Each structure stands twice: as C-alpha cells, then as structure tokens.
C-alpha cells in the first residue's frame, strides 16, 4: 500500500517519504523541500531494535539533477516516472524539464584543453570541421568518451560559401557510427523542401537522423516530420534573432502543440530561452566565444591559459544553470 509520511523538522523544511514498492527492504524515493526547492534521494527502509529506520543509498540532488541521473537507466525507470508524475500533478513539469547541454567543439587547442579538464558528458561536433578526421582520433585526443551529437555544419558551410555533399556526410556517419549518439539531417537554410528531400534520402539509405525545423518556417513543415513519427527534432535558424524572448515564445508554442516531441535548440544556450522553456536539449559555442572575448572579466589575461580558465568557468556555469554537474568545481 502506498503511504506518505510528512513531518516538519524545521519551520522551513518539510520531509516526505514515498513507499513505492509496498514492502520493506526495497528502495524508496524520498524528497524534501527547502526554501521552495525539492531535493531527492533513494533510501532503504529496515528494522533495527524493533524500530523502522531509513538509510540513504543515493543522494540525487535537486529535481533537474535527479531526472538527469535517473533517465535512461532501466533500474531507476520507476523513480523517474514517479518524479515526472509528481511534477505534472503539481503543475511544475514545464519548470523542471530534463535538459542537456551539448558543448560545440571545433578542435581548437583551447577547447581541447578545457574539455579534457571538465569532461562534459555531451559534445556537438560539426561534420564541416571534422570531415577529414575520424572520431576515434578525436576521442583519443580528449581522453574520454563523451556522448556525441553530429551536426552537418550546414550553417558554417552556408556562410563560407561551400556545399556539403549528402553522400559524403552519410559515409562519415556510417564510418563513425559507434561514436555517435545522435546525428542531425543535412539541412539547407531557406529551402525547407530541399531539406526535407535530404532527410528522406537519409531515411531511404537506412539512417535515422534528427530532422531540422527552422525558425520562421510554416507549421506544415514541422507537421511532415511529426507525422513520420519523429520523437526528437532539431530547431534551427534562431541564432540571427536577437530577441531571445521571442524565440522562447516560439519554443513554448511548439511544445504546447506537440508535448510528446523532444526539441533540440541548435546554436543557443541563452538563459532567456533554456530557463523559460521545456527544451529537451540545446547546444552552444558561447562558452568558448565568450572566453576568447575576455568573459568572465574576473579571470584576466590574454594568454592561452587565461582563455582556457575562462572557458572552463563558462562551461561549468552552463552546466549549473541546467541543473547538471561537471567533474570539476567552479574555479
């Protein structure tokens, strides 16, 4: 029988334990609310000297951190769903959407050093920059195996006046598939029909790319991808839009119409967007661009080492804003 036991230890703390297994000796999900923020842990109930006691098996942190820890692990699937159900019942689901930040990596020395230091779980690589390298070589250079999302680099190619051959892109994916978690369909900025044609070509060849829906395109373009059963869709074309609140409203509208679809925002980790929308994931190169421009200003110096320190700081700041944790503390 499911039971909930609540009591107050301090005037600003409330502890709630939820028995989800209905028997002793099993894991339980426990939450506590401190100053408006929920913190979660997995605990085990046991009897000692005739009394029922609990011991913490795993501290999960705040809601966002807990969801990221539990998601995708079959052992913890029940607990992930329990938290999501709790958030839906309390109306807080959109505020605590699971989010992942992919850090754009272009193989520069400063980027490499910063990434080797922080070791973020997720990286976004552009085929445009890595088309002549193997991902095995890249992983060996970084010293660990991150979850890699591959982008075609259409945006970079477009602004450099170059083209990307679809067959070359697919060959690269096939050669490096063991290192890829996701790969994005080849898109053509300003041409949704050709973009859809490339997406269909990749599907015909046996690939399963994330389709790209661009900011400003008609709704029926997105509908075509959704009707094909795509659960994960990339959103592009928002970088030139300076009004990030307008972009955030666009994302919220899409999610409201399609709550079961996961959206990845390409090229932006703006807090005005990621902290006010239920995005599933995003990527950005802001962490290294700002480091090159001297931000944050309290880490001074023009040397490469100063740039690396700023990049590390910016990376950790982004991770913390998403409720994630890196392997290193803030410098």
Which of 65-69, 209-213, 262-266 is predicted least confidently? 65-69
Q: Beta-carbon neighbour count of residue 166 at 10 Å?
A: 16
CB 204 within 8 A of CB 166: no
> What is the pLDDT, as a whole number, of residue 312?
96
Mean pLDDT of the chain: 83
The residue assigned the tokens 């990339």 is 234
Beta strand spans in 143-179 (E): 147-151
Choose between 246 and 3: higher pLDDT: 246
Q: Strand pairing of 13-18 and 147-151?
A: unpaired
pLDDT of residue 22: 38
Q: How far is CA 145 from the centre of its chain?
A: 16
Report the DSSP pairing between strands 51-62 and 100-105: unpaired
Residue 97 has pLDDT above 70, yes or no: no
> How far are the Cα atoms of 172, 203, 260 from residue 198, in angstroms, in the given order?
15, 9, 25
Report pLDDT digits (tens) over 117-153: 999 999 999 999 999 999 999 999 999 999 999 999 8
Looking up tokens 């909930």 gives 4
16 pLDDT above the threshold of 60: no
Residue 193 burial by Cβ neighbours in a 10 Å radius (0-12, 13-18, 19+):
exposed
Which residues does residue 126 pair with via DSSP β-bridges, in sequence order?
Answer: 151
Q: Output the six-digit token pair for 116.
A: 């080797």
Residues in the chain: 331
pLDDT at residue 93, as a whole number: 53
Check if the beta carbon of residue 288 is closer than 8 Å to that of residue 311: yes
Nearest to 15 by CA among 39, 47, 50, 46: 39
- For residues 302-328, one letter each, b for 16 or more C-beta atoms within 10 angstroms of the residue's C-beta and e for the rest, the string is eeeeebbbbbbbbbbbbbeebbbebee
pLDDT of 68: 64
- Answer with the residue of higher pLDDT: 19 or 248: 248
Q: How many CB atoms lie within 10 A of CB 69?
A: 20
The CA-based dihedral angle spanning residues 289, 293, 296, 300, taken in that order and rounded to the nearest 10 degrees? 130
* pLDDT above 90 coverage of the chain, percent: 52
Domains in the chain, ordered, with CATH? 4-96 (no CATH), 100-321 (3.20.20.105)
Give the tens place of pLDDT for each residue, 138-193: 999 999 999 999 999 877 777 777 788 999 999 999 999 999 999 999 998 889 99
CA separation for the pair 133, 73 (Å, rounded): 32
Enter the pTM of the model: 0.69
**Res 10 pLDDT > 60:** no
Q: Are 150 and 174 in contact (CB under 8 A)?
A: no
pLDDT at 8: 30
Q: What is the DSSP string of 70-110?
A: HTT-GGGHHHHHHHHHHHHHHT-GGGG---EEEEEE---HH
SS3 263: strand
Do 294 and 310 form a contact (C-beta atoms < 8 A)? yes
pLDDT at residue number 57 = 86
91 — pLDDT class (breaks 50, 70, 90): low
């Amino acid at each position: 029988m499911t039971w909930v036991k609540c009591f107050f230890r301090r005037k600003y703390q409330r502890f709630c334990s939820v028995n989800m297994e209905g028997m002793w000796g099993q894991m339980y999900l426990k939450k506590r609310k401190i100053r408006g923020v929920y913190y979660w842990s997995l605990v085990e109930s046991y009897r000692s000297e005739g009394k029922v006691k609990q011991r913490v098996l795993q501290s999960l942190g705040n809601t966002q951190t807990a969801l990221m820890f539990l998601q995708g692990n079959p052992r913890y699937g029940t607990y992930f769903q329990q938290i999501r159900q709790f958030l839906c019942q309390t109306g807080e689901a959109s505020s605590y959407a699971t989010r992942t930040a992919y850090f754009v990596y272009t193989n520069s020395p400063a980027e490499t050093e910063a990434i080797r230091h922080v070791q973020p779980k997720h990286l976004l690589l552009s085929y445009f920059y890595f088309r002549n390298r193997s991902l095995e070589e890249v992983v060996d250079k970084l010293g660990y195996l991150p979850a890699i999302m591959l982008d075609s680099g259409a945006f970079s190619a477009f602004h450099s006046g170059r083209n990307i051959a679809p067959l070359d892109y697919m060959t690269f994916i096939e050669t490096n598939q063991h290192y890829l978690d996701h790969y994005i369909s080849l898109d053509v900025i300003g041409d949704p029909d050709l973009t859809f044609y490339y997406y269909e070509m990749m599907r015909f060849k046996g690939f399963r790319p994330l389709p790209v829906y661009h900011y400003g395109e008609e709704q029926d373009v997105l509908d075509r991808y959704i009707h094909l059963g795509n659960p994960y869709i990339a959103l592009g074309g928002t970088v030139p839009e300076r009004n990030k609140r307008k972009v955030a409203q666009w994302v919220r509208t899409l999610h409201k119409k399609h709550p079961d679809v996961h959206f990845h925002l390409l090229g932006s980790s703006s807090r005005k967007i990621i902290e006010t929308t239920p995005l599933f994931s995003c990527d950005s190169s802001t962490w290294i661009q700002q480091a090159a421009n001297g931000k944050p200003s309290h880490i001074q110096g023009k040397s490469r080492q100063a740039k690396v320190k700023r990049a590390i700081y910016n990376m950790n700041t982004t991770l913390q804003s998403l409720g994630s944790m890196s392997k290193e503390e803030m410098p």
